[in-house]
């Protein structure tokens, strides 16, 4: 077992550097996502999770000058890199879509995108490789600060959760967002070890209190993985934001538009599955995937972070009645 936590985000190799580090960028399920989006020239598409711009680059290349790409990201560092990546390549300056980037959570989509204007929405959930691989962001077991904020300007950080939350609240958080039955034991160990100074220190405390987690498929995972996941989800309000995205998507999309969501853990996938099922019942969505699409063995061999990815897709059904005024 290695010493690091597997990232949930998909992006891995980008030529170039940021802050002295080089990042890789290999978007998970890229071909499948583009196929399900059925990107058409001149359309308007939303990348709810811009990251390093891998999916967005592939979408933009298909849109032409009549098209429009709208993208969201909480992370100013990711936006800086993606903005350069999404500049019109040489020879395509006259045939490149309008690019609109928002420094915002995708939870704000309904406020920033006009009603019924999008031909497709893509959301590649989780933490990006740029965030995960940079120890100073505090997402991994590397020795870094207890941060875990996707938006560096956000107020709540992992340090406050780890060192200030009451033991019962911490245990509940680990159980709810990490789905770890050892939550009480882990919370007790964390409280007794305070003050915890770094991510490496936190991982050591949890490792001493709990054994590695063995999965039905693949090797065991680090005993701190689910606690780190839980804290990160809580700090970044990830499930609240996902709920807002799933509510906003049918509002901003045209009839026939495509929704594609790639999730990386059961909490996210369950929310997406339930939203599409309820949407089908209410004649909002028509599912394109009866079961989630997963990465091929070849992709997993090249990018281990694809192992837990699940893609679900649906078509926006005909909007009934008059369009609502915004």
Domain boundaries, the chain: 13-129+238-316, 155-235
pLDDT at 23: 42
pLDDT at 61: 98
pLDDT at 94: 95
Question: Distance between CA 266 and CA 246 in Å, rounded?
Answer: 16
Smallest CA-to-CA distance from 39 within 118, 117, 99 is with 118
pLDDT at 5: 40
Same fold, 13-129+238-316 and 155-235: no
Regions in the chain scoring below 70 on pLDDT: 1-25, 213-220, 319-326
pLDDT at 126: 78
Residues in the chain: 326
Give a three-class secondary structure readout of 43-72. CEEEECCCCCCHHHHHHHHHHCCCCEEEEE
pLDDT at 277: 98
pLDDT at 9: 53
Locus of tokens 């789905």: 179
Question: Distance between CA 124 and CA 28 in Å, rounded?
Answer: 8
pLDDT digits (tens, 9 = 90+) for 278-288: 999 999 999 99
Domain 155-235, CATH: 1.10.150.170
* 320 CB neighbour count, 10 Å cutoff: 8
What distance separates the 2 farthest-apart alpha carbons in the chain?
A: 62
CATH architecture of the region 13-129+238-316: 3-Layer(aba) Sandwich (3.40)
CA quadruple 90, 92, 94, 98: dihedral positive or negative? negative
């Amino acid at each position: 077992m290695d010493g690091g936590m597997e990232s949930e985000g998909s992006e891995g190799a980008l030529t170039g550097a940021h802050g002295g580090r080089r990042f890789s960028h290999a978007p998970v399920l890229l071909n499948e996502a583009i196929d399900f989006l059925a990107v058409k020239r001149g359309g308007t598409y939303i990348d709810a999770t811009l990251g390093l711009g891998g999916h967005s680059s592939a979408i933009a290349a298909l849109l032409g000058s009549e098209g429009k790409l709208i993208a969201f990201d909480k992370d100013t560092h990711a936006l800086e890199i993606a903005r350069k990546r999404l500049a019109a390549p040489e020879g395509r300056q006259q045939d490149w879509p309008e690019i609109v980037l928002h420094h915002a959570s995708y939870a704000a989509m309904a406020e920033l995108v006009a009603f019924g204007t999008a031909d497709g929405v893509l959301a590649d959930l989780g933490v990006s490789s740029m965030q995960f691989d940079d120890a100073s962001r505090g997402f991994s077991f590397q020795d870094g600060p207890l941060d875990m904020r996707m938006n560096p300007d956000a107020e709540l950080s992992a340090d406050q959760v780890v060192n200030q939350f009451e033991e019962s609240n911490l245990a509940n958080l680990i159980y709810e967002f990490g789905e770890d039955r050892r939550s009480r034991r882990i919370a007790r160990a964390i409280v007794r070890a305070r003050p915890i100074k770094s991510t490496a220190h936190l991982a050591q405390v949890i490792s001493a209190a709990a054994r590695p987690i063995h999965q039905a498929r693949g090797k065991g995972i680090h005993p701190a993985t689910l606690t780190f996941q839980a804290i990160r989800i809580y700090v970044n309000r990830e499930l609240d934001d996902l709920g807002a995205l799933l509510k906003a998507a049918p509002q901003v999309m045209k009839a026939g538009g495509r929704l594609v969501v790639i999730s990386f853990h059961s909490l996210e996938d369950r929310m997406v599955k339930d939203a599409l099922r309820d949407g089908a019942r209410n004649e909002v969505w028509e599912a394109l995937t009866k079961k989630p699409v997963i990465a091929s063995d070849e992709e997993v061999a090249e990018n281990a972070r694809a192992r837990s990815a699940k893609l679900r897709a649906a078509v926006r059904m005909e909007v009934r009645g008059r369009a609502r005024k915004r």
